[in-house]
Structure 1
């Protein structure tokens, strides 16, 4: 497999800063050695990006000051020389040169052309995701996986066959090839073993349940899983091929890398290009197209659903690859473009506890500022009290912060190796931090049932885009209203005068002067409150923040009863029958309506909508059910559902045999695949928007 190369690791940064003195250099060598050992024990001391940067500085300093290398071999190991294993690779698994700027990419592309012979150009380049996992090689005989090994030092690596064959195996790397062309195939496939964001959550839950500390990030989880032969829990893993050789694989002079991937997919292997949208899979021509693909992949990074740390550029032509050859340890025809790290280590300073709009407790980590994925993080939401306790997170801990595909950063685990011996365990609360009443801890989502505890949350939810959508009322304003006593319910918002809004205290400025909402902002709020009176009944119901209700339930209740009076008069049995809400939810709704009876009366007196008007218009969507996946031009998630139901239809969140049509621009989602299986029509969002209009 002379054209093969791993997506990770990358080669050393030649611009790394040199240590100023030998003492600093020696200390860094020791730190890298310690980090290497800790990583192999599944207790990493620092993110991969920080380790790589430190390692680069050690190597650069060693080159600049060879006389400082007193220990020779140990410095070489600490400098990142990979460790081989007992399985020798059929050909070297090379590392990649790296870049972090567009200029470096242009220089690389210019170098490809400059290296051409007789005016030859390098031709198209493939741009793929650089998966943040572990490179492996897998050998098949007669369609059966017989040997798998890690990259190791590029020449040899540790065997991992047993780990990959246990349990459900690895998605994308079959234990036995079953396709027509794969049944008797013999050859070798190379690629990246990785863990998706969803599988990372599953792996950590299983690992913590087994009494082990949580993994720091998906890459740590993948490598730790491969090293741990004695684990008692199963971990889901995936594979994406980036090269292949063997029976029937194109090797001729005019063959391309893309054709080799075609062959891999036909055999039944998953490939890296399949992880990208269709429009990004074709090879690119020229610097602008290549840079555009790199930028597009980075923009997609939060939504991909699996960890990447960059993009990989490769010449598509195998003839070009052979002509360009390789440097020491890396090919001349490939480059790794690195994105900002998605994992970092910082210090957990405090665990804040708040009470939400329905009395549910929220837990938030206060962190020393740290950059993750190009964004500075200071606060991170934590799941719940049992989650914090199970992971033994303590104030003062160094913690791993991972910014996953949903763009929501989170703490994954504590750096136990750095924990002081006298660190005190975090004690979960037993009583509400606001009113002192005993908490309801009968489920994972702990609650305080004292209504007054969630005033700020109730106000914020009432003004949110999914409810009354009142411009100018945000979290800080709601907290100020609750703390000042100006609002104890949502009805109070409509009692306040322009002068009261303008004088609302919002803390102090940097100079210590009092800060208020001000007249301009107050006027915007008053205007927004007036506009909210025209919002439909379903939003009023949703905005009340009653437990077990939300956007969908608000629409169901408004559609079924037609008025607030009829809804308030409904029995629990009548409520339970709506879309199979059930008795428990129905009882919560009935209790919430009774508790808010005075508030509802005041809202009605202020002119809020309390009925569903019958405009006499036709209902062209009557009896039809639509599932909307993705954006529809001119609508939000809430307004698209409202518009469908205003025209007599039903807005659903899941595809079933009762679905009239799926509205989406995508063809490779779970909903799209299910719609295809059921023979349900798919409507383009722009076309659907025109229909609704």
Structure 2
């Protein structure tokens, strides 16, 4: 990615740009809110820097180019060592130029770099004396920061007592994970407050809050260790002379949370090429991380290289931030559309003033449900923070309330189904048409016939519309009673296409129970959950006989989800009966029904044992499959794993048994190597499950 700069044409425009940038920084670092998103701010500052390069005699003293990030925030606690920010690069070309400059400055090529995520939070210094946490200080203007010691006890990953009784300063980033952010907004709105715009806004406001009626947790990631007055000479020398990677290992030994325990651990690279490869891995993993990052931090790892490079007034010369495209932008909420899904769910969708996020123009974003709109206090015409990461559907986070003009209007909620005019069931947060699946029969049937469900080739949306319009199909079961003459009477249905469709429908009758459950589209279940239910209960009779307590024994189904699944299966009873009468398979091959009582006296569930070459194994698939596995979709790979007795997973952890790493495998392969998890090529995995591939 190459980021251009805002064009500044004269001194007046320069002065206005500086004023705008300084104001945005003050808002951002004081409370996490700003009228500019990250990309807009970066463009503005780069424009300011470009103008100053050509007019060095006209640089304003308040210009952001020479200040530490966060300098707008005053503090009264002096830092023992300046707490600097980082300069940025935006492309591989700019990074290569930086490495050349660094080599020229220190007199030799750098042979060790540390590469890790640039966390989207607030810099924090934590001072420990005798191993006990005594003081927390923000970055402030880099020379002095704000005392936020009152936040001790609310920050996960920052222990109150270290594993050793040392006197040391731990520097790092405090942020809210995605889960903490959602929790914070629930608590905040429950106490009558406006929701935070984003996790950084939430962390900034929470860190400084002293007299709130509630507390919410944050998370700390350490990235540095420094001596303090009182640090022993031996430890001080170690902190000064050690490589950065060794310091991070020491921090972890002290009990401080670092990126080492995440999917994007800080690693050591031995060349610029290796650095760029790690940059790509972290960028690829970004969308799946449980916390926000806005780039990658690259440092000369060796202490000697850092000391030779030195630091400027704003940033160290031995470190750089490789910025990634912003995943959050501010735009306006123009309208709210109400769409009806295949199961009758009525979902609001935001119509936005077009905005480019991560290379894509975004005009629509999800609003989750009516209760979420109310919780977030959204109004038509609001400036809103929109989030998009990777292929994740864009979502509206919150209104930027300080940009309101008074012209905003309330969002109107529907009082009848916007598709068919029927009533609306508002008993749950997700509203639903009282007609349920029949409200959107075409979408429901097209979904059921898809590749990952019943896989009825030739039954696309156009053909489904024909069947519904002709009155031949009123529900899923009717597909299995279609006759040849009925199909031949339809337009564009000759003998060959008719016979092919009937063959595909007959084949669909033999699909395993997991596919049938998925085709039914029970709320709260999807492909993986349908497989778990089918493998646990083995037959539809056992599934239907399960009460909420029995349903909870299935992995991933908790106390809240179980009753709704049981209730919906009861609601689907007539349709299931019709499917059974039509001869549709209702068993899961290779699965064994649970014993009559799967809850021992100690209250823990006992899942039926699964046999097979992967019995007891947790398997993650990453990268492109080749050989015998090349034609399998990711869902079919997961099905294969579970038929072999294993459990499919999407993330690598210490509980992972095997990672199948195909072509282009990135961060998941790296995480497996770091944790010592067994790796297999697609061919090796195919050999393991060869009997099931026949």
Q: TM-score normalized by structure 1?
A: 0.77
Structure 2 equivalent of residue 111 of structure 1: 101
Query: Which residue is equivalent to 1:490?
Result: 476
* Contact residue 191 and residue 241 of structure 1 kept, 8 A: yes
What do the CA deviations read for 1:265-322 (whole angstroms, capped 9, x no partner)?
Answer: 2212122444355xx6442112211111111111111122211111111111111111
1:176 and 2:161 correspond: yes
Partner SS for 1:130: strand
**Distance across 2 between alignment mates of 1:623 and 1:320:** 51
Partners of 2:351 and 2:365 within 8 A in 1: yes
Q: 1:483 to 1:297 in 2, by over 3 A?
A: farther
Distance in 1 (alpha carbons) for counterparts of 2:172 and 2:590: 61
The C-alpha deviation readout for 1:314-349, integer Å capped at 9, x for no partner, is 111111111122234222211111100111012222
After TM superposition, give the deviation of residue 373 of structure 1 in Å. 3.0
1:447 is aligned to 432
For 1:476 and 1:21, the matched residues in 2 are separated by 59
Give the whole-Å Cα distance in 2 for the aligned partners of 1:222 and 1:520.
63
Residues 573 and 583 of structure 1 are in contact (CA less than 8 Å); yes or no, is this contact kept in structure 2? no
**Alignment partner, residue 692 of structure 1:** 689
Three-state SS of the structure 2 residue aligned to 1:665 is: strand
Report the counterpart of residue 278 of structure 2 in structure 1.
293
User: In the alignment, does 2:17 pair up with 1:20?
Assistant: no
Q: Aligned equivalents of 2:358 and 2:496: distance in 1?
A: 36
Q: Which residue of 2 aligns with 1:6?
A: none
The 8 Å contact of residues 253 and 319 in structure 1, kept in 2 or not, is answered as: no
Deviation, structure 1 residue 115: 2.5
Alignment counterpart, residue 217 of structure 1, candidates 184, 188, 198:
198
In the TM superposition, 1:598-677 aligns within 5 A as 601=581, 604=583, 609=585, 621=611, 626=616, 628-631=618-621, 634=629, 639=636, 663-665=657-659
State how far apart, in whole Å, the 1-side matches of 2:268 and 2:656 are: 32
The answer to whether the 8 Å contact 1:352/1:366 transfers is yes
Aligned to 1:267: 254
Aligned length: 626
**Cα deviation digits, residues 369-423 of structure 1 (max 9, x gap):** 3222333323222221111112121232221012258834311101223334132
Following the alignment from structure 2 to structure 1, what is the Cα–Cα distance between the partners of residues 118 and 492?
52
1:542 aligned residue: 518
Q: Which residue of 2 aligns with 1:462?
A: 448
1:141 aligns with 2:129: yes
Does the 8 Å contact 1:55/1:78 carry over to 2?
Answer: no
| 1:469 partner SS | coil
Q: Partners of 2:103 and 2:351 in 1: how far apart?
A: 51
1:341 equivalent in alignment to 2:315: no
Say which of 371, 376, 380 aligns to 2:356. Answer: 371
Are 1:307 and 1:405, in contact at CA under 8 Å, matched by a contact in 2? no
Which of residues 184, 205, 224 in structure 1 aligns to 2:186? 205
| Aligned 8 A contact 1:250 1:260 in 2 | no
Residue aligned with 2:518, SS: helix
**Greater shift after overlay, 589-598 or 415-424?**
589-598
Which among 297, 311, 335 is matched to residue 296 of structure 2? 311
| Structure 1 residue 226: Cα displacement | 2.0
Alpha-carbon spacing, 1:305–1:537, altered in 2? closer, same or farther (3 Å): closer
For residues 539-585 of structure 1, what are the alpha-carbon distances to aligned partners after superposition, in whole Å with 9 as ceiling and x for unaligned? 234313356765555775699686x8xx5xx9965777965688875
1:243 matches 2:231: no
TM-score by length of 2: 0.77
Q: Which piece of structure 1 moves more, 354-363 or 307-316?
A: 354-363
Q: Contact 1:307–1:404 at 8 Å: present in 2 too? A: no
Identify the range of structure 1 (592-601 vs 92-101) with the bigger mean alpha-carbon deviation. 592-601
1:373 and 1:122, CA in 2 relative to 1: closer, same or farther beyond 3 A?
same
Alpha-carbon offset, residue 463 of structure 1? 2.4
In 1: Cα distance, 2:495 partner to 2:127 partner:
72
1:151-185: CA deviation from partner (whole Å, max 9, x where unpaired): 1111111111112x1xx4312211222x1xx2x21
Tell me, what secondary structure is at the counterpart of 2:106? coil
1:652 offset after TM fit, Å? 9.1
Alignment match, 1:87: 77
Deviations 1:104-154 (A, max 9, x none): 11111122222334xx43331111111111111121111122222111111
Give distance in 1, aligned partners of 2:385 and 2:22: 20
SS of residue matched to 2:204: helix
State yes or no: 1:360 paired with 2:360. no
In structure 2, relative to structure 1, the CA distance for the partners of 1:528 and 1:349 (3 Å cut) is farther
Q: 2:597: which partner in 1?
A: none
Other-structure match for 2:113: 125
CA distance in 1, matches of 2:575, 2:610: 38
Which residue of the partner structure matches residue 589 of structure 1?
Answer: 569
Query: Contact 2:335–2:350 at 8 Å: present in 1 too?
Result: yes
> What is the RMSD computed on CA atoms of the aligned residues?
4.5
CA distance in 1, matches of 2:240, 2:544: 75
Summarize the Cα distance change of 1:611–1:342 in structure 2 as closer, same or farther, 3 Å threshold. Answer: closer
Distance in 2 (alpha carbons) for counterparts of 1:68 and 1:476: 66
Find the aligned partners of 2:64 and 2:174 in 1 and give their Cα distance: 27
Which residue number corresponds to residue 49 of structure 1?
A: 39
- Which consecutive residues of structure 2, in runs of 5 or more, have no partner in the other structure? 554-561, 592-608, 661-666
Distance 1:593 1:627, change over 3 A: farther
- Structure 1 unaligned spans of 5+: 1-12, 504-517, 655-660
Which residue pairs with 1:196 in the alignment? 177
State the secondary structure of the residue aligned to 2:416: coil
Once residues 66 and 244 of structure 1 are traced to their aligned partners in structure 2, the CA distance between those partners, rounded to angstroms, is 37
